[in-house]
Structure 1
Amino acid sequence: MLLTVAVFPSPAFASEWGCEVLLCASSSNPSWRGVPACHPPMNRLISAMKKPGFDWPTCPEGGTGAPGYERYAECPEGYQVGSSRDRNGFARNGDLCVKTVNVCQGNTHGLYNSDRQRSCIQTVSMSRPLRSEPYYFDIKNDTSGQTERHWFELHK
């Protein structure tokens, strides 16, 4: 029986670690990196994520489960999310920012026929920016009732 306790951590211990992770990840000023007490639980998390069968430690008391993850930031104003294609023709998941522009706009040298005008309309794209903090927890504020998103990163 003693061996079982040593091999399998108790749910209370896992919950405690999950709550430490939640508190540290939601720290914004400073981020968890600026809070020395956050280094052990967050470094443990980063190491655990590399192991097969990883399950995110949760904090039921905090009302959250595993965090969300959004790799890409929003596109700049005027751009829409688009996707490039890989070698096999499959669309990648929203990795581009695209917009349609008139490259002839401002050119007043005579009239254009409809074919020329169509050739003036081009789609331009750029790589979608990556988030510096791609993970997030949505935490409900008990006072206001509003849900607040707390972004964080997990690099050693």
Structure 2
Amino acid sequence: MPMSVVTRCGLFASSALAAWLSGQTLAQAADADWGCQIVLCVAAQTPSWHGIPYCVPPMEKLIAAMALPGFSWPVCTGAGTGAPGYEAFEDCPAGYSEAEVQSGHGGNSESYCSKFTTERGERIELDRKPRTLREKPYYFDIRQPGGTTTRAWFDLSP
């Protein structure tokens, strides 16, 4: 009996994706539609898709396709995903909230974390911290059995 993708890779963050792929052989996974190959690869966390030879070609194809006009994300209906989400920054530390200041006439803005207090109905900034960029800013929310989702974070750096 061929080894399943889940057994072979041992790298899925999502039990729904693992369940969907559990009956797949490596050859069947290679023949999976492109959207499902991408979800399979980004669900890998240790190692990331960069360290899995199976994942490099479909992910490089995705990165190249993103630069083309009219690009749209390939989907994987079996995992319940469409286009991924994107969050450039990590969450602010506890007690801080996201803030943004506009600078100049070009609409440029600076995002930061700020701690505020209110005195006599006036909001006063107590402290400001720079926002940290995420190493893995893209994510898929992968549907789980029972209706919950698991968020799989990933990057698209070559």
Say if 2:44 is the partner of 1:34. Answer: no
Map 1:1-156 to 2 at 5 A.
16-88=33-105, 90=107, 92=109, 95-100=111-116, 122-142=125-145, 144-156=146-158
Deviation at 1:90, TM superposition (A): 4.6
Deviation at 1:26, TM superposition (A): 1.1
Any runs of at least 4 consecutive aligned residues in structure 1 with deviations exceeding 3 A, and if so which?
A: 89-92
SS of the residue aligned with 1:139? strand
Deviation at 1:78, TM superposition (A): 2.1
How many residues align structurally?
122
Distance in 2 separating the partners of 1:149 and 1:77: 21
Which structure has the larger Rg over C-alpha atoms?
1
Q: CA RMSD of the aligned region, Å?
A: 2.2
- In the alignment, is the contact (CA less than 8 A) between 2:114 and 2:125 conserved in 1? no
Q: 1:61 to 1:135 in 2, by over 3 A?
A: same
The TM-score with structure 2 as length reference comes to 0.69
- Once the two structures are superposed, what CA deviation does each residue of 1:8-29 show, in whole Å capped at 9, x if it has no partner? xxxxxxx701110111011112
Distance in 1 separating the partners of 2:106 and 2:127: 19
The TM-score with structure 1 as length reference comes to 0.70
- Once the two structures are superposed, what CA deviation does each residue of 1:59-104 show, in whole Å capped at 9, x if it has no partner? 1222110111111110112211100212128573x81101147xxx
SS of the residue aligned with 2:62? helix
SS of the residue aligned with 1:83? strand
Distance in 1 separating the partners of 2:139 and 2:125: 36
Distance in 2 separating the partners of 1:89 and 1:126: 24
In structure 1, stretches of 5+ residues that fail to align are 1-14, 102-117
In structure 2, stretches of 5+ residues that fail to align are 1-31
Q: 1:44 to 1:89 in 2, by over 3 A?
A: closer
Distance in 1 separating the partners of 2:76 and 2:43: 13
- In the alignment, is the contact (CA less than 8 A) between 1:83 and 1:91 conserved in 2? no
* Partner residue, 1:115: none
